[in-house]
Structure 1
Amino acid sequence: MIAARASTAAWVLLSFTALACSHGASPGAAGPERAARQGPFVVKPYLQFGEAPRAGELAVVWHADDVDAGWAVDVRPDGESSWRPMEPPKFRRVAVAGVEPHRVYRATLRAGAPGGRFAYRVRDGKGADFEAEALAPKSASQPHRFAVFGDCGAGTPEERRIAHRTFEEKPDFVMIPGDIIYDRGRASEYRTRFWPAYNADRPAPDAGAPLLRSTLFVAAAGNHDIAARDLAKYPDGLAYFYYWCQPLNGPTGPEGGPLVAPVTGSPEQKKAFLDAAGEAFPRMANFSFDYGNAHWIVLDANATVDWADPAFRRWVEDDLAAAKDARWRFVCYHQPGFNSSRSHFDEQHTRVLSPVFEAGKVDLVFNGHVHNYQRSYPLRFAPTPVQVEAPAFDENGRMVPSHKSNGRLTLDRSFDGKDDTTPEGVIYIVTGAGGNRLYNPEQQDDPSSWQPFTVKHISRVHSLTVVDVDDSKLTLRQVSADGEELDRIVVTK
């Protein structure tokens, strides 16, 4: 993984010798949404990678009222009887219209031996404790399991069922390939449509599961997460940059440049956003990380990003080259380049980097955006240069004009994941059936409607992808909310 520069300037370090426990009212915007109280928490603790992850460490994040309190974090590795104090937490203040002012705290957990179980607790200055258990990140010599599902934070019964099934599958981490939250990536929407399902206190199909507190979550940003950039309309929008704590090691650039669309609003709204986001904006839209014996790249595939930009392409090339010792290489972004559904079929702009993925020996690409499951044949794609007009968007952040990408496809039809398990090319997975309304169920049993590159198309049930990685063998399963296995392949090296 390309090393991340330590970036803590925007986080306020708590000095416990100077804390004053004042519980007076905080000033806020007119008509904010009040958080449902969870003891001293606005949002209970959840696990993240952190801005500059190191071996054996995770970050714990929680939200609390905008008042000083004596927050502290401790860790107890499995088999030990005493708690180890961690460094004091830091926080960013979120004070934007639409939600009451609150603080997003972060502390580093030194989790102990790779793959080992540990307990952690978060304490305020008044004696209230939150305690949970988790696993330390796995090493390159240990097998690991991850789950992938996108297009999930819709506040639906199906979202909660997929959350519960994910909990039952016991992944080491969860990857979300975008559209984390609907409809416009707002802090107020996270309150009702995301945290309740994935950080529920009890695991049940009708409730969700306590996943976030016990399992590392990683996410790419989709159009519903960051495309609504008018703070005058959505002052608590772009909450992806407030609430996720992920590596800050990717490419960036100025607003209005090829990688960063402008954020609009009044000067006061813009300042409130930038203060709350800190160094996460805009850098956290693209990053890379290692887990076990695998290397991951997470990219912003929204059509406001110019994937043909030479600097962007070069960063992806260099990042993959630096990961030459990784056994497995995965890429995750929201909008699929290879999609057989009628929905979003024209959005093919991400195909432009297919040759880079092939040269960098990427094994699997995970996408969302299309609300179903699709698996491609292993493929290689040589784009044909075309002149494409600048895309336009409707009020929901959806691209309007065609953005097709022509080229030459080479398919490995001999690979079946059973008898032939060594693919020639990259396998593209669409796994956007995580909770929102399904797309194109009529196509599931109509292979004549699929593109030549598609070998599997499941669009009648919500589902998630579960991947087991063990040295030179990978097993991918697609699983329904009820636990039914819908697809399975094995990949070997």
Structure 2
Amino acid sequence: MKFLFISFIALLSFSATAQNNPDFIVTPYLQIGSTPTPQSLQVLWHASKTDAVWLAEYKTTSGKWMKAEAQTTTPISTAGMEPFIIYTASFKSLIPGSSFMYRISKNSKVVFSVEAKAPKSATQSFRFIASGDMGAGTKEAKQIANGIYKANPDFVAFAGDLVYDYGLMSEYKTKFWPIYNADKVNETGVPLMQSIPFVGAVGNHDVDTKDLDKYPDALAYYLFWDQPLNGPVGQAGGAFVPVLKASDANRKAFTDAAGDKYPRMANFSFNYGNAHWTVIDADTYVDWTDSTLRAWVADDLANSKDITWHFVLYHHPGFSSSREHFEQQQMRLLAPVFEKGNVDIVFNGHVHNYQRSFPLHFKPDNKGTLMVGGKDNKTVRGRVVNGTWTLDKTFDGKTNTKPNGVIYIVSGAGGQTLYNPEQQSQPDTWQKFTDKFISTIHSFTMVDINGKNLKLRQVDVNGNEVDAIDITK
């Protein structure tokens, strides 16, 4: 089946500065911010350190330009890089679900203007894209970006590995901004982030590089993204915050720039439409046997029990049939928490293909076996978690659209080299919990929410629908 896209251009007219506009290092892009609401978005842009006076303005259907609220600056002074400034401003009076205009002026001259989408309210239908491992800068990543653009989503949920290979600011310059924050549709990328927000979960390629002396521009996630800060507070060397290696100067440069975002922005939650999202760090350094961390996830889900849909976003899948990364099962430990919290779908990346589980319930055996390796035999590779599962094989997403259990989606075919293409035609190699396995072509997950109805479609780089299910409440 060929999926019919609606052109984003037909729905959003825009005029934006060229990507190489000398006024910007990175042209404006949207984020949900630290305290997201249906009436608000954040706009960020990067520019050289100058004495220029910048102003962000926006207007809704009322037609009156308003000054953006709470405009701030964050100086970035990283060793080996030219200093620059990240500007942030808030649009706080948006009309949910409506288009709006915003513009950026430099020294009283408009240098950027674009039309964008306000977030949806709990009574409005919406579409989101979920995909991981899109930050490779490959031909396939660009094809996926073009497909997402044509699908005209309201936001993108990025399941980790936001940029390869080390999560560096310099890597964003070549593998991220040109693809997802281009000025227009071309062979390099698409103008997505200027008009809709991306929400990002951290992957191993985003946060595993912790040596700021070797890579002073590492951990760019904590500088370039603006997301909620309502997650658990951790301490370096604890259950979910690794220890940084850095000289005093490099440490200060990073922590001054990251501010409150480090390390708290690795775990957070937010609402969009009638859905609640829990976004967590699933990296191997995180100890999910820690009671404080598990309690935060449980409480977050319990506090959102009156919201219709519940989604969880993280990088490393607990339920995967791929031979690659099979030992990294640590996230299975949270299955009982997800089930008690009435989670509908868990979205993952890390494994570079598409997999959909049967709706399942899982009971782990004890705490699992920690796997270590590396030259020093101390590097944590993951945790093997055995247990028992109960599968709902009566759910088919067509005639039976009410699943009994959590559905786990691996959507890691966002641009990086595909894993285990041979397994697609070898169902005997799949785990019993796997219902669908597509590993011979890159693809992304598209979800439409309309009240108590959900449509999930997996779309490949050619626009073909390779999987589809409906869920009803």
| Normalised TM-score (structure 1) | 0.90
Distance in 1 between the 2:49 and 2:373 partners?
Answer: 39
Residue pairs, 1:92-241, within 5 angstroms: 92-125=74-107, 127-204=109-186, 206-241=187-222
Give 2:63's aligned residue: 81
Q: Deviations over 1:262-318 (max 9, x none)?
A: 111211111111011111000000000000000000000001111111111111111
2:50 aligned residue (46, 67, 70) = 67
Which residue identity does 1:333 align to in structure 2? Answer: Y
| Normalised TM-score (structure 2) | 0.93
Give 1:56's aligned residue: 39
Which residue identity does 1:461 align to in structure 2? Answer: I
Distance in 1 between the 2:453 and 2:168 partners?
Answer: 40
1:411 is aligned to 2:391: yes
Which residue identity does 1:250 align to in structure 2? Answer: G
Give 1:447's aligned residue: 427
Q: Deviations over 1:211-262 (max 9, x none)?
A: 0001111000000000110111111000000100000000021100111011
Residue pairs, 1:36-55, within 5 angstroms: 37-55=20-38
Give the gaps of 5 or more residues in structure 2: 1-18
Q: Is the 8 A contact 1:46 1:212 kept in 2?
A: yes
Distance in 1 between the 2:440 and 2:323 partners?
Answer: 15
Residue pairs, 1:441-480, within 5 angstroms: 441-480=421-460
Residue 71 of structure 1, CA deviation: 0.7
Which residue identity does 2:113 align to in structure 1? Answer: E
Q: Is the 8 A contact 1:173 1:215 kept in 2?
A: yes
Q: Is the 8 A contact 1:73 1:88 kept in 2?
A: no
Which residue identity does 1:414 align to in structure 2? Answer: T
Give the gaps of 5 or more residues in structure 1: 1-35
Q: 1:394 to 1:424 in 2, by over 3 A?
A: farther
Q: 1:424 to 1:130 in 2, by over 3 A?
A: same
Q: Is the 8 A contact 1:111 1:136 kept in 2?
A: no
SS in 1 for 2:101: strand
Residue 393 of structure 1, CA deviation: 5.5
Give 2:342's aligned residue: 361
Q: Is the 8 A contact 1:337 1:347 kept in 2?
A: yes
Which residue identity does 1:488 align to in structure 2? Answer: A
Residue pairs, 1:419-430, within 5 angstroms: 419-430=399-410
Q: Is the 8 A contact 2:368 2:386 kept in 1?
A: no
Q: Deviations over 1:62-81 (max 9, x none)?
A: 11112232111111113x33
Which residue identity does 2:205 align to in structure 1? Answer: H
CA RMSD in angstroms comes to 1.6
Which residue identity does 2:330 align to in structure 1? Answer: H
Q: Deviations over 1:372-415 (max 9, x none)?
A: 100000000000014534645679xx966462100011000111
Q: Is the 8 A contact 1:473 1:492 kept in 2?
A: yes
SS in 1 for 2:193: helix
Residue 428 of structure 1, CA deviation: 0.1
Q: Which moved more, 1:52-61 or 1:192-201?
A: 52-61
Residue 358 of structure 1, CA deviation: 0.1
Distance in 1 between the 2:56 and 2:46 partners?
Answer: 14
Residue 207 of structure 1, CA deviation: 2.2
Give 1:330's aligned residue: 311
**Identical aligned residues as a percent:** 51
Residue 39 of structure 1, CA deviation: 2.6
Residue 150 of structure 1, CA deviation: 0.7
Aligned length: 454
